[in-house]
Structure 1
Amino acid sequence: MHIGFFDGSASPNPGNVGLGACICFQQNVICKSAKYGGTGTNNVAEYKALIHLLELAIAMNVKVFTVYGDSQLVINQVNGVWGVTNERLKNLYDRVQSLRSQIEECVFKWISRHNNKIADSLSREGLKLSKPKTVYSKSENIGALPSVDKADQPIDLLIHRFSVRPLGNYHFRIDQIGYPAIVVNLRNLHCSCDSFRGGSACLHVMSISRLMKKGVA
Structure 2
Amino acid sequence: MTLFFDGSKCQRGGGAGVVLIPLDAEPMPLSFRLDFPCTNNTAEYEALVLGLQVALHLGVKSINIFGDSQLVVNHVMGIYQCKNEELQ
Q: Deviations over 1:45-78 (max 9, x none)?
A: 0000000000000010011100110000000001
User: RMSD value over aligned CA atoms?
Assistant: 1.5
Q: How does 1:183-194 map to 2 (within 5 A)?
A: none
Cα distance change of structure 1 residues 27 and 10 upon mapping to structure 2, 3 Å threshold: farther
Counterpart selection for 2:29 from 28, 32, 57: 32
The number of equivalent residue pairs is 87
Q: Give the Cα separation in 2 of the matches to 1:88 and 1:21.
A: 22
Query: SS of the counterpart of 2:63?
Result: strand
Residue of structure 2 aligned with 1:61, choices 59, 62, 68:
59
Length-normalised TM-score, structure 2: 0.89
**Partner AA of 1:89 in structure 2:** L
Structure 1: gaps spanning 5 or more residues? 91-217
Instruction: Write the mapping of 1:132-151 to structure 2, written as runs, cut at 5 A.
Output: none
Displacement after TM superposition at 1:16 (Å): 1.2
Q: For the residues of structure 1 that align with 2:76 and 2:27, how far apart are their CA atoms?
A: 25
Q: Runs of 5+ in structure 2 lacking a partner?
A: none
Q: Who is 2:39 aligned against?
A: 41
Identity %: 36
* 3-state SS of 1:40 partner: coil
Structure 1 residue 89: Cα displacement: 1.6
Higher relative contact order (CA 8 A, sep 6+): 2
- SS of the residue aligned with 2:48? helix
How many angstroms does 1:28 deviate by? Answer: 4.8
Q: Which residue of 1 aligns with 2:3?
A: 4
CA distance in 2 between counterparts of 1:86 and 1:29 reads 36
Where does 1:30-179 land on structure 2 (aligned, <5 Å)?
Answer: 30-38=27-35, 39-90=37-88
The aligned amino acid for 2:21 is C
